[in-house]
Structure 1
Amino acid sequence: MTDVIQATKRDSTGTAATIRLRRNGLVPAVLYGHGESNEHLAIPATQVKGLLRHHSKMIKLTGDVNENALVSEMQWDALGIEVLHLDLIRVNLKEKVDVTVPIETHGEAVGTREGGILLENMREVDIRCSAGAIPESLVLDVNGLHLGEHATASDLQLPEGVELVTDGDAVVAHVEAPRAEQADEEATDSIGAEPEVISKGGGGDDEEA
């Protein structure tokens, strides 16, 4: 999904200027790349919140600049609530880019009906695709996962033209027994184990009494 963002150029930079921007409901941003000069921009905070809701990576800048851009980095406040700054990279919609996208699990794992719990090991993965075809998310079908089984990044459903950059063997989700049940099994194993015999003094068989 590509969000259309209204951008205005800003002449003032520095801490005091950015504080004034934020007080006026704007987020400072920098647009760079493709060998062109950097543009210092201001973007409405409401539109930045829209980017977050839509998980958008690509944006169409309008207003003082007309560019297609990739959201490269977001700087957050100390509480991780408000976006303080955006880094944007100019892109051609046909060029290949590396981006991180979220994972969506679909279905109900068989293992949960066998007494297990579905645990997600990864929430996002890295992919490579054309800038104009970045998916909002990748789907992982967990219906067939039994107790003790796992799914890897290679099990994700990749749209045409999308290449997985994350290691395909990386575990994305697995089904395991509840912790209490695991503890009971470990306790049972320890009860049935042979006690270890430790000799006193460490002498050999030929030691005299």
Structure 2
Amino acid sequence: MAEVLQVEKRDLLGSANSRRLRNSGRVPAVLYGHKQDTEHLAISQADAESIVRHHAKIVELQGAVTETALVSSLQWDPLGIEILHVDLQRVDLSEKVEVKVPIRFRGEPVGARHGGIVVENVHEVEIRCSAVTIPEYVVLTVLDVDAGENRSAGDITLPEGVELLTPVETVVYTIEIPKGAKDAGTGEEGEAGE
């Protein structure tokens, strides 16, 4: 079920007015897309935080505007604490949208148990699917990854109707062999050769 946001229109634009708006407990937002006019809106700080807390991708706007929208992006303050601005894109629930979703890595890899170092190279992938079926995350099972091996975006398990847009060869997960293990092995061989 989509998150419901109460919105009001804002006529005063610019950074000073946006700062005043944030000081009053509201966050500036913009709604665009579908070849319609851009709407300048304000939502409560609590609603903006709810979007983050629930990982909402699709929201229902009520109040000054009644629309279904995709949360396109959130702009944060330099410390990543306060939401400064919300970009919303109009969406038809039957149309396909392109979004980024986080990757969840499942299982304890065999390589980590053998002393390998886990490196999560990529934390999200871009997908295309209908607006109503956007997954909260996608899963990559890493149980059988050994030291010196990796997994790519093409190894991710995708829900039905979801298409991967990130190149399939993009390495998202690696188990590196510790440098000490490599050096110790070559060092012993070098001494034996002498």
TM-score computed with the length of structure 1 as normaliser:
0.85
In the alignment, is residue 21 of structure 1 matched against residue 24 of structure 2?
A: no
Query: What SS does the aligned partner of 1:37 have?
Result: coil
Q: What is aligned with 2:58?
A: 58
Q: What is aligned with 2:162?
A: 162
Q: What is aligned with 1:197?
A: none
Q: What is aligned with 2:180?
A: 180
Q: Specify the code of the residue in structure 2 equivalent to 1:62.
A: Q
Query: What SS does the aligned partner of 1:147 have?
Result: coil
Q: What is aligned with 1:171?
A: 171
Q: Specify the code of the residue in structure 2 equivalent to 1:6.
A: Q
CA distance in 2, matches of 1:115, 1:74: 39
In the alignment, is residue 37 of structure 1 matched against residue 37 of structure 2?
A: yes
* 1:4-37 per-position Cα deviation (integer Å, ceiling 9, x unaligned): 1111111211122111110111110010111211
Q: Specify the code of the residue in structure 1 equivalent to 2:100.
A: T
Identity of aligned residues (%): 51
Query: What SS does the aligned partner of 1:92 have?
Result: coil
> Which runs of 5 or more structure 1 residues have no equivalent in the other structure?
195-209
Equivalent positions of 1:114-129 (< 5 A) are 114-129=114-129
Rg larger for:
1
> Which runs of 5 or more structure 2 residues have no equivalent in the other structure?
none
The change in CA–CA distance for 1:181 and 1:35 in structure 2 (over 3 A counts) is same
The change in CA–CA distance for 1:23 and 1:181 in structure 2 (over 3 A counts) is same
Q: What is aligned with 1:108?
A: 108
The change in CA–CA distance for 1:176 and 1:42 in structure 2 (over 3 A counts) is same
TM-score computed with the length of structure 2 as normaliser:
0.91
Q: Specify the code of the residue in structure 1 equivalent to 2:13.
A: T
RMSD across aligned positions (CA):
1.9
CA distance in 1, matches of 2:18, 2:61: 20
Q: What is aligned with 2:76?
A: 76
